[in-house]
Amino acid sequence: MLGSLARWLRILGYDTLYYSDRDDDDLRAEALKTDRILVTRDSELVQRSIKNGTQALLIQSDETMKQLQEITNAYDLEVKPKNTRCPRCNGLLESVKKTSVKDVVPKESYNAFDEFWRCMKCEAVYWRGSHWVQILDSLERLKSSNNL
C-alpha cells in the first residue's frame, strides 16, 4: 500500500493518482494511456509493465519516507513542498480569500494565519499550520539523508 507515498508526492506538487482496489491490467492500461509512471511494490507487475511499454518503478522499502527517497532519487525530483495539489485527492489547490473560509477553519487557525488554499475538487481547506512545519521538517531530514 503506497497511499502515504502518494500524499507526499502530491505535497511536492506531482500529479499522482492512487488506487488500492484496481487490478494489474487496469493499472497498466491507465498508466500507458495517461503517460504516467506506474509505482508499485509488486516486482512482477513492474516486469510485465515494462514488457508492455509502460514506465514502472519498483519500490523496495515499506517505510514511507524511504519510499519517497527511492522515487525522488530515481527521477531526480525536487524535494520542496509546493502547495499546488490536494494531498487527499490530487485536485489542484487555489489560493482563497481569508474571509471565504471563516466558517470552515477552526477559530484558532483562522486567527493565526492569513493565507489559505482550497482544493478545487474536494473543497478541503489548507493553511500552513503545525502540520506544515512537520512536513518541512520531514523533507529537510529526507534531503540531508540524501546528501550523506
Give the binding site for Zn ion (CB under 5 A): 86, 88-89, 91, 119, 121-122, 124
Q: Kindly tell me which of 55 and 109 has the beta carbon lying closer to Zn ion.
A: 109
Grid coordinates 527521477 are at which residue? 75
The amino acid at residue 94 is E
Q: How far is the CB of 74 from Zn ion (least distance, A)?
A: 26
Q: Kindly tell me which of 27 and 86 has the beta carbon lying closer to Zn ion.
A: 86
Which ranges constitute the DSSP H helices of the chain? 3-11, 24-33, 43-51, 64-75, 107-112, 130-146
Q: How far is the CB of 15 from Zn ion (least distance, A)?
A: 13
- Cell readout for 105 is 477553519
Q: Kindly tell me which of 51 and 131 has the beta carbon lying closer to Zn ion.
A: 131
